[in-house]
Amino acid sequence: MPNPRVFFDITIGGQPAGRIVFELFADTTPRTAENFRALCTGEKGVGRRGKPLHYKGSIFHRVIPNFMCQGGDFTARNGTGGESIYGARFADENFVKKHTGPGILTMANAGPGTNGYQFFICTTKTEWLDDKHVVFGQVVEGLNVLKEIEKRGSNSGKTSRTVAIADCGQLSTALTQDGCLCAGGSESVSCRVSFSFSPLL
């Protein structure tokens, strides 16, 4: 089975900015990948805080250029919220994948075993986060959109314009005859070598 692919349709200042497509590493971090996948589809309903367990409509509340773009806090919208599809926060699954470059999707946390719904996307290599944050996916389309988000950041993390996830979900995936993985609802993705990267809190 191919790893699942999910997408974010991004707006910046209320204007469409494009789509980011992620491959989730269900083969190495199945529990963490499933948490993110289900939060993209919204299929788990309402969480403990009475809010839908869904990234749709949430914002990137912290963006630091040449580092990372952090989001996922759909309850408090400021980085203080924390929950998962499993109810409470959950343990670090493993640190097999590393923070090797731009596009690495990793879990934000407040220390060991505090994973919830917050994540970040690395915009550069962040090897100092290895063995501290769980890498569970990577951007396979839309690095240009990630760069546009990064431009709205600052050293403090505050964004100059609101960066929001206008829509999100899961793409259907299938293997073509030449063995390449194509994601439905998106342009075909060429076969490429996997790369790893990392985010922060």
Given the residues 37, 54, 62, 99, select the one marked as catalytic: 62
Given the residues 109, 115, 118, 138, select the one marked as catalytic: 109
Given the residues 35, 70, 118, 138, select the one marked as catalytic: 70
Residue given tokens 């090797």 in the structure block: 100
Given the residues 22, 119, 120, 136, select the one marked as catalytic: 120
Separation of alpha carbons 49 and 77, rounded Å: 13
CA-closest candidate to residue 73, choices 146, 163, 150, 133: 163
Which helix (H) or strand (E) segment is 99 a member of?
none
Given the residues 133, 146, 152, 197, select the one marked as catalytic: 133
Instruction: Assess whether 62 carries a catalytic annotation.
Output: yes
Edge-first strand listing for the sheet containing 135-141: 62-64, 68-71, 119-122, 104-107, 135-141, 15-24, 5-12, 163-171
Separation of alpha carbons 44 and 105, rounded Å: 21
Other beta carbons within 10 angstroms of residue 113's beta carbon come to: 10
Separation of alpha carbons 25 and 133, rounded Å: 14
Instruction: Assess whether 67 carries a catalytic annotation.
Output: yes
Given the residues 24, 39, 53, 129, select the one marked as catalytic: 129
Given the residues 22, 25, 67, 136, select the one marked as catalytic: 67
Instruction: Assess whether 70 carries a catalytic annotation.
Output: yes
Instruction: Assess whether 161 carries a catalytic annotation.
Output: no
Separation of alpha carbons 124 and 103, rounded Å: 8
Could you give the residue numbers annotated as active site?
62, 67, 70, 109, 120, 129, 133
